[in-house]
Structure formats: structure tokens, C-alpha cells
Homo-oligomer: A and B are copies of this chain.
Amino acid sequence: MHPARRPGRPLPDGFVAALQGAFGERVSMAEAVRAHHGRDESPFDPQLPDAVVFAHSTEEVQTVVRLCGQYDVPVIPYGNGSSLEGHLLAVQGGVSIDLSEMNRVHSINAEDLTVTVEPGISRKQLNEALRDTGLFFPIDPGADASIGGMCATRASGTNAVRYGTMRENVLGLTAVLADGRVIKTGSRARKSSAGYDLTRLFVGSEGTLGVITQITLRLYPQPEAVSAAVCTFASMGDAVRAVIETIQMGVPVARVEFVDSLAIRSINRHSNLTLREAPTLFFEFHGTESGVREQTETVQEIAAQNGGEGFEWATRPEDRGRLWNARHNAYFAMLQLKPGCRAVTTDVCVPISRLAECVTETEADLIASPLPCPIVGHVGDGNFHVAILIDPDKPEELEEAERLNRRIVERALRMDGTCTGEHGVGLHKMDFLLDEHGADTVDTMRAIKHALDPRNLMNPGKIFSWSA
């Protein structure tokens, strides 16, 4: 077993001096700065890095990584801190490389529908920069995450049913490897068969193979017309059937989100709305004026055939905004169901044919639990989140949340699904990863990790253990 560095061992003096020599005031060992970088949106207790460096270029990241290699110090890349799975916790100490100041747009190529950016830019900053081009970047995980972090966790969100995930939308990237070498993967061509797909290997590698310092993304034309619709159903099963039929008809729905009664109640309270407290689907359609009308009419018909009620649609931006803002604020609305709570958020994804069954069985678990547990789902992808609301001061509530999560994951795996649709493995799901893929597949991942990071310095302790 590799002698992994343990937290608490002070940084070597020579290392700190070298870091300060290279970065001056952009190195911080202040408690508050380290505390900010040793936590994320997960319910885990913070684990602080020993130092934080604010990097400004690939070359600077290379300098930090080389120094860390020289002194055997772990490296943790940091974007916007919106991880839900403990990715940013310095479980073996080390240096957090804050990339938030590397947030420039390197180049926009409107004819090719590509943009090349630094990893610290957030998705909202990116879309702001694209505003006058007629193009947009659709991946929307809810939080205003950094593009680098979205790459590292293979993020997706509400638009994935139409536009795919980070897996489909990263064309190439630049990464600093554990030994300090810089590699460029992919190209600006839309497709390539040139060797192993290192781009896809880094997308979803959660910082464990290197630090991503530049990313080329696919863009999409802003749709000529957009409409939104909302509709309630007697049960999750009816709602899912409507979605399956919609997709089988080839309707290119841009978003379709499930929100359960409890989540609707929280949204009503938070956004001062009067939505009917029932299982609800939110739709969004993108296309030409007539295409959007046709999509909406088709879906309205399908919804009616599945018992959908109160189908309401909106093409005016302010009406659409009202509906979708409510959905977007669901996470914060749900937190307000239990003042002072934190959420343990599950993230399973199953084949859509099993989704109704999976959610229905899960609802039975949740009703039997003392904790409030609203559900929202990216139903077109088969991905749903239960926000299990716990009092952070009551360990028994965390334990109950873990029990519920475990049951939900076991159920999803039985149904040929995955323990994580879009949040990543991080610290929280290392055992589930083994259950999902089996030891030989995880061993194969481990062999790649050992080959590219033989001293276990790149975000150690995440995704899987160093030794089998």
C-alpha cells in the first residue's frame, strides 16, 4: 500500500517557502480561507487543506503541481465549491488550487459552435459572455457551478434530456498531470477517432487524474421560440408514462422535470405561488414558433391521455420565467421546510421504464421515515433527487438519511441503474461504486489511477480507495 500522506503533518518548510516565492500573496494559509476551501455543499464536516493557492494560468498550475510532487503534498482543484459529494474536502491535507480567477473566455468560434474557456468560469458567466452571439451553453446543474467542476463531476441537470451532459459537450481539454506535464486532449473538430478518448477519461475523474486548466465546449443556437408548460398527475406512474410516450413520439423536449407534492408545497411557500400540490411535470420546448406549438400540443394530448390535469402553457418570457424560477429555486425552497436543516441529496438514475416503480417504492420508504423528504427529478433521464432534510446536530438523523439513501441506491442498482446520475462519487459513494460496477471494473479504474498518478497526490481518497 502506498504510504498516503496523513492530514495534520505540517507542510515542509522548503515547500511553503517555494510556494510563497512563486505566488506571493496568492498563497494563503489563513484559517478562514482554508475553511472556505475545505467544505462544499455536502453534509460532511469540513476538512481543511494546509494551504490555498489562487492560480492564474496553466503554467502556474503546473508550478504548484510540480512543487507538490517534489514534496509529496496532495493537490485538490477548487472551482466554485458547489460539489454535493465531498469532492473538495482535504482528507489527506495538501494544497487547494483555487481556479476561480482563471475565468476567462479564451475564444468563441460562432461558426463552429464552440467556445474555449478557463475552468473557473461559471456557467452563468459563460452564458453572459455568449449573449450577443445568438448561442448558448445549455448544461444547467442548478447551482452556478464552474465549468471545470462540471467537467470533473460529469455534471448535467435540467437540459440533459435534449442537449446531453458534460460527457457529450466537452470537445477537448488541457490538463496538468500528476508529474507536471501538460496534455491537450481532443481538438476543435466535432468528432475524432484519434486514439484513446482522454477527454472523456478526464470528464468525471473528479480531480483524481490531474487538474483541468482549459476546456473546449460545444454551443447551441439560441432557439427561435421557447415555451413552457406545467401539468399535474394523479401519481408519479402516470407522469412517467406521459414522459415515456413523449420521448417515444420523438418530441425533442428540452426539459421535463418531476416535482412531488411536498416539493410543490415548499415551492408555493418560497415563491408565493398557488400551484396544485400534486405530482407535477414542468416542461420546456425549444424550436421554431410552429415547432414549439406542435410540440406543446402533442404533449398536452399525451398528458391528457395519462390523466394529466390543469395543463397550463406559457410562451411569454415573464410567464415562463415564473414557472421555471420556481423549479430552479426548489432546492432552497425545500431547505426551508425544516429551518436550520441540511440536505442529504440522493442522485440515483435508472432506465426510464423503471423510474415510476423506483420512485413509488422510494415514496413508501420516505412516508415511513420521520424526516421530510421532497423529491425532484430529471424525469426524461430517469434521474431523481430525494432531499433528505436533517438537523445537523442530530447524528441519528444523519444515520436515518444514510439508511434511506442506501435503500434507494440498492433499489436503483437492482433496476440496472446507477448510484449517481450527475453529482459524482466523491467521498459519499465509494462503496456504492463497488456495488454498481464490481471489483474488477473498479480495479480497472484503479489501474488507470496508479498509472497516471503513481504517488496518489491528485485529490486522494475520492471515487475509490487507493488499494483494493
Q: Are B134 and A248 in contact (CB under 8 A)?
A: yes
A414-460 residues at the B interface, CB under 8 angstroms: 416-425, 429, 432-433, 436-438, 440-445, 447-452
Q: With A and B bound together, what is the CA distance between A433 and B156 in angstroms? A: 31
Q: A294 at interface (Cβ–Cβ under 8 A)?
A: yes
Contact of A447 among B203, B294, B418, B452 (CB under 8 A): B452
Asked if A106 CB lies within 8 Å of chain B CBs, one says no
Contact across chains for A448 and B445 when beta carbons are under 8 A apart: no
Q: Is A192's beta carbon under 8 Å from chain B? A: yes
Say how many copies of this protein the assembly contains. Answer: 2
Bound together, the chains give a CA A258 to CA B120 distance in angstroms of 39
Complex CA gap A447/B195 in Å reads: 13
**Which of B134, B165, B184, B191 lies in contact with A156, CB distance below 8 A?**
B191
- Do B111 and A244 have beta carbons less than 8 Å apart? yes
Contact between A177 and B444, CB atoms less than 8 A apart: yes
Contact in complex: B153, A421 (CB < 8 Å) = no
Taking a contact as CB atoms under 8 Å apart, the answer to whether A418 and B192 are in contact is: yes
Asked if A196 and B201 make an inter-chain contact with CB atoms under 8 angstroms apart, the answer reads yes
Q: Is the CB of A191 within 8 A of B383?
A: yes
List residues of A (246-268) whose CB comes within 8 Å of B's CBs. 247-250, 252
Q: Do A436 and B351 form a contact, CB below 8 Å, given A223-B250, A425-B193? A: no
Bitwise, A369-388 to B at CB < 8 A (1) or not (0) is 00000000000011100000
CA distance A223 to B422 in the complex (A): 29
Residue pair B195, A353 in contact (C-beta under 8 Å): no
- Residues A196 and B448 in contact, CB atoms below 8 Å apart: yes
A217 within 8 A of B: no
- Beta-carbon contact of B114 and A349 below 8 Å: no
Other contacts beyond A183-B440, A221-B247: 15, CB < 8 A = A109-B351, A164-B168, A177-B444, A181-B440, A184-B441, A190-B352, A191-B349, A191-B418, A191-B422, A195-B437, A196-B445, A197-B200, A290-B290, A448-B452, A451-B451
Partner-B contacts on A (CB < 8 A): 109-114, 134, 153-156, 160, 164-165, 167-168, 177, 181-185, 187-198, 200-201, 203-205, 220-221, 223-224, 244, 247-250, 252, 287-288, 290-291, 294, 347, 349-353, 381-383, 416-425, 429, 432-433, 436-438, 440-445, 447-452, 463-464
Chain A to chain B: the 8 pairs with minimum beta-carbon distance, closest first: A200-B200, A451-B451, A111-B353, A192-B418, A221-B250, A112-B351, A189-B349, A188-B416
